Amino acid sequence: MGDRYKKIKINSTWLVIAAAAFALAVIACIAGISAGTLAGRAAEAPSDAVEGFFEALVDGDYDKLNESITGVSAFNFDFSSEDANAVLAYNALKASYKFELEGESSISGLDAVQNVRFRYLDLNALKKDLNAEAKEILTEKEAGEKNRRDLYDEDNKLIDSVAEDIFNEAFGRLLENSESYCKEEILSVKARNVRGHWLTVPDSALIKTISGGTVQ
């Protein structure tokens, strides 16, 4: 089976795109950093600013989130796809977010740092197990299938539609166990005082975690 299995080509691009769609937009904004604007929801303390950012992220309130940041133009969380798995991956990532502030803010002039314990779905780890899960499903199908022609074509290559079904099932199985792929990190989140109010400053480390580790 090993040789035949090598002929299965997995296109996991949707898994990466699902997580990174909005993060790539953020990166584009960071490339042209703006001075930031005073937002109506700006906080009176750096811890309040960072907490407001993560609350908005968890709640999916992206208007509120964009009002709480500086240093980038805006986060773009618009995502649409005709691929059901891509939508599932994206929604599972967002549903995995949890956070807790750690300790007090460290303030130096107009800048501050607030540590945050943040949990997210590690899509890179999930993607690494996708092939092994698909291989296991293929083994199950081979054992239960009486007619090989229902799985393989004349060239002994797995039928495309069968391969697609296998990987859809593999992803579904892994996603059912998504808790085991959740990762927790302590982030040092930056904040900046803009005209007397504190706003969160998204950086590459923050973007990496909210993208499920798919954006480096």
More confident: 174 or 127: 174
Which band of pLDDT confidence, cut at 50, 70 and 90, is reported for residue 98? very high
Mean pLDDT of 96-124: 95
Beta bridge partners of 101: 116
More confident: 177 or 131: 177
Start-to-end CA distance of the chain, whole Å, equals: 35
Residue 119's pLDDT is what? 97
Domains of the chain plus CATH, in order, are 2-130+181-210 (3.10.450.100)
Residues 156-200 have pLDDT tens digits of: 888 888 888 888 888 889 889 899 999 999 999 999 999 889 999
Rounded to whole angstroms, the Cα distance separating 216 from 213 reads 7
Mean pLDDT of 121-143: 85
Rounded to whole angstroms, the Cα distance separating 70 from 54 reads 14
